[in-house]
Chain A
Amino acid sequence: MTTKAKRLNMNQKYQLMTRGLDWETTYQDMDDVFPYDKYEGIKIKDWDKWQDPFRLTVDAYWKYQSEKERKLYAILDSVAQNNSQLSISDARYMNAVKIWMQGVTPLEYNAFRGFCTLGRGFRGAGARVACQFQAIDEMRHHQTQIHAFSHYNKFFNGMNQQSRIRDRAWYLSIPKSYFEDAMTAGPFEFITAISFSFEYVLTNLLFMPFVSGAAYNGDLATTTFGFSAQSDESRHMTLGLEIIKFMLEQHEDNVPIIQGWLDKWFWRGYRLLGLVGTMMDYMLPKKVMSWRQAWEIYWEENGVALFNDLARYGIKMPKHHETATKEKNRITHEFWSTIYQFSHATALYTWIPGNEELDWLSAEYGELFDTVYRPRYEYWKELDDKGERFFQERLPVVCNVCQIPIFHTMPDDPLKNCCLVSEYKGTKHQMCSEGCLDIFNNEPEKYCQAYIPPQQIYQGNCGGATLDDYRKWLHIRDEDTGEYYGSEDHQMWEKWKAQAGKPTDEAA
């Protein structure tokens, strides 16, 4: 004989399963138990107002995630068994994978560790649990990416030295400094930077190009982990929106602090995405869409609408967003030109786009491309044809905030270089833009610590005084760098094509 049990709805059950576990400590002061969640000045009156974005119990999480992992690893196994690298559009595509593995995968790792600290650090139990789930998800993304790329690494160059160049290479300082900036900030700024500004506002500009790019270009492994991660990402986006609304609703004093973070992290995120846009426009043999088009859809339409929703809290559009929009027709060409000249100091290959690709770029970017960038590429192509492939031997000045070589031009004049200087404690610091200058001037104590690769190289701290020494210090061989055509990746690809009786690049 059983008594009839009351029914609890999902929400009640979830509340009992998480929030109810927490208590106010009395043997130790709560401020000692949670020492880091007040110093940024964010005021939380009532953590109970936090709306849990996931409402997952651990056993449900195991169930869903294990189903996804079983499928994912079955596909990764089959990619290895069937040598699915033979299905990609062209070996140039692999450079997009290299950018991901060198630059983005380490960020997944850092997200894992950063969210672990938040999963311990927030005073509210609901927020803590949400961050714990995100932490373990981020570990998943990191590990599944390593496992997916492990197969490609067996054939293509530029991935095997990942754990060295991740910290050392000048161009990987761009993503590295971005994430370390967030992780060295307090917990509220970290979550604003990563969960909101990155995962919510800008995520489509990262995810869409890479994962759709992989799908368009026949990369089954990346497509699979990408789509498998997408259901996790939608949870993370919900967390991003919740934390912003929660902070804004808790206290009006929070509004200007958050506005400052949104300004900063919009600009830092946008600068980082320049690298992604460049990959989209130049590294995908089969194009998904141009950076310009992606910017219009995902920022000018969706991003702006999101900020309009936040206007009722007193939040304004992020500072310098107009500049980002003005740059949409040139940022990726300026970036590619820079990587092209310096690719002998990267673990990437670069090339001048073929005629069809130049025509596509002309169609997407119009007059500016035809007058400024296309002639430059045609000139470099001529040099290359004469056997004088152009490489820059001088090191660039890089921005003290975003770490990108200062190739950027003035917002209203694409022919005039933009380099702004701020002096702090007797030292001059160069920045690429008003956006980065503002960031520097708001926290000079932080940014004057930044590691500036060219300065370190010139000071002889990176293995020696020559480019050769620098490459050795990076664990990059000559064969891993420089021009794509004639490279080891290219030769291997041509060999495979010849074996299959396909026309080679030479024949074409």
Chain B
Amino acid sequence: MSIDIKTATIEAKRTTFDHIVEKLGEGKTPTRYQEAVFGHQAEEVFHYRPTWDSERELFDARRTAIVMNDFEDLLDPRQYYYGTYVIQRSKQRESQEKNFSVVEKRGLLEDLDAVMKEKISKVVVPFRHAEWGANNNNYYIAGYGFQTPITAAATFQGMDRLANAQYLTSIGLILSSNDPAILDQAKDEWLNTPMWQGLRKLVEDSFVTKDWFELHVLQNYLLDGVFQPLLFKHFENEVVKNGGAAFAMLTEFFVDWFVESQRWADSTIKVAVKESDANKALVESWINKWQPTVIAAADQLAEFVFAERSKDIIQQIETELDARSKKIGIQVQEK
């Protein structure tokens, strides 16, 4: 049956689902983002306690010490739902792929001097393991976090980090003309050289951090807030200044991605901090607990890369991070 009538005569009974109306008020037309993230996590009538966590319900707000009246307030300012996320990333991928193929085809990295090449393979390539760590941590947040806005965004963040790790792998393979030995060597350095051990220990410590919001602060705010600018701003500048403009083509994705993901980290933490003094005190305690260790780990790496300039660069990074902290309502400790 196909009913052929003027569609103007068809009147809708309602604009959206009841739970969205409750949230936004009568008469508002929700966006697809709002329909995608509001009201989907089961809230009651849980049939069984998890065998892996018998103290709590399957979805349980108590897996973080942060307390929110409504965890759905932890919105993603980019308003990503699956469709908009993959479409946006696919556009970026296209230009990233072009950059890779230009650099590879023309051999643009080959003219780089040996010292710089060595530095890239010792600094950028091993960092793929840290990105993999970030991938794992974001899936933890996605799995054990509370409500959809934060868990959906953490899933995207997790995918992004796997992509980052894979892009860094590709950079290594371009440098070595596809000889995988460069990756083995990078892994060996990640596991054994002293300059990586501060970061590796931090990443492993993050793997056993149970509070998912603390993990969010540690991974997506502190670790990223220090290591992303260290590698993809300061180190990248260094390579570019030394004749490696092509390198910037390979890491363009990271730069854009970081700007974007910072907005999400800042905004979610800001909302939690604003919610209550207790939340604010918690986030501050996490920042105070982790930031010095993150900075110390970055110091070890910076010394190798920037030698005598490393102190300045780390200070610059920390100043920027502290400025972000102030902006989102966090009291910054005197250094």
Contacts and interface: CB of A to CB of B under 8 A. Distances in A.
Interface in B7-22: 7, 9-10, 12-19
B17 A180 contact: no
A66 B82 contact: no
A386 interface: no
A16 B183 contact: yes
A128 B136 contact: yes
B292 interface: no
B161 to A, nearest CB: 9
Given A20-B187, A499-B9, A62 B93 contact: yes
Interface in B120-147: 128-129, 131-132, 135-136, 139-140, 142-144
A475 B21 CA distance: 13
B18 A21 contact: no
A57 B97 CA distance: 13
A405 interface: no
A98 interface: no
Contact of B177 (A5, A18, A59, A176): A5
B45 A3 contact: no
Contact of A36 (B1, B52, B142, B179): B52
Contact of A154 (B13, B44, B106, B165): B13
B1 to A, nearest CB: 6
B250 to A, nearest CB: 13
B187 A2 contact: no
B1 A502 contact: yes
Interface stretch (B204-212, B217-225, B258-266, B314-322): B204-212
Nearest to A131: B139
Given A117-B143, A136-B82, A143 B180 contact: no
Contacts of B19: 162-164
A290 interface: no
A191 interface: no
Interface in B36-71: 36, 39-52, 58-59
B155 A16 contact: no
A441 B39 CA distance: 35
A156 B18 CA distance: 13
A489 B191 CA distance: 65
Given A3-B177, A69-B87, A184 B48 contact: yes
B112 to A, nearest CB: 13
Given A2-B107, A143-B81, A154-B15, A106 B40 contact: yes
Nearest to A101: B17
A326 interface: no
B287 interface: no
A200 B42 CA distance: 26
Interface string B145-176: 00010011001101110110111010001000
Interface in A74-108: 82-83, 86-90, 106
B173 A168 contact: no
Interface in A1-52: 1-8, 12, 16-18, 20-23, 25-28, 32-33, 35-36, 39
B191 A23 contact: yes
A356 B44 CA distance: 43
A496 B128 contact: no
- Size category of the B interface is 35 or more
A214 B213 CA distance: 42
A155 B204 contact: no
Interface residue SS majority, chain A: helix
A53 B135 CA distance: 20
B2 A6 contact: no
Nearest to B105: A2
Given A28-B207, A164-B18, A83 B183 contact: no
Contacts of A496: 3, 5, 10
A274 to B, nearest CB: 19
A173 B42 CA distance: 12
Contacts of B82: 69, 136, 139-140, 143-144
A113 B32 CA distance: 20
Contacts of B207: 25, 28, 32-33
Q: Which 8 A-B pairs have the closest CB atoms?
A: A2-B107, A117-B143, A66-B90, A116-B143, A58-B163, A21-B132, A163-B39, A154-B12
Given A89-B1, A113-B59, A155-B10, 6 more contacts: A63-B90, A121-B143, A132-B135, A153-B17, A155-B13, A163-B19
Interface of B: 1-5, 7, 9-10, 12-19, 32, 35-36, 39-52, 58-59, 81-83, 86-87, 89-90, 93, 96-97, 104-107, 110, 128-129, 131-132, 135-136, 139-140, 142-144, 148, 151-152, 155-156, 158-160, 162-163, 165-167, 169, 173, 177-180, 183, 187, 190-191, 200-201, 204-205, 207-208
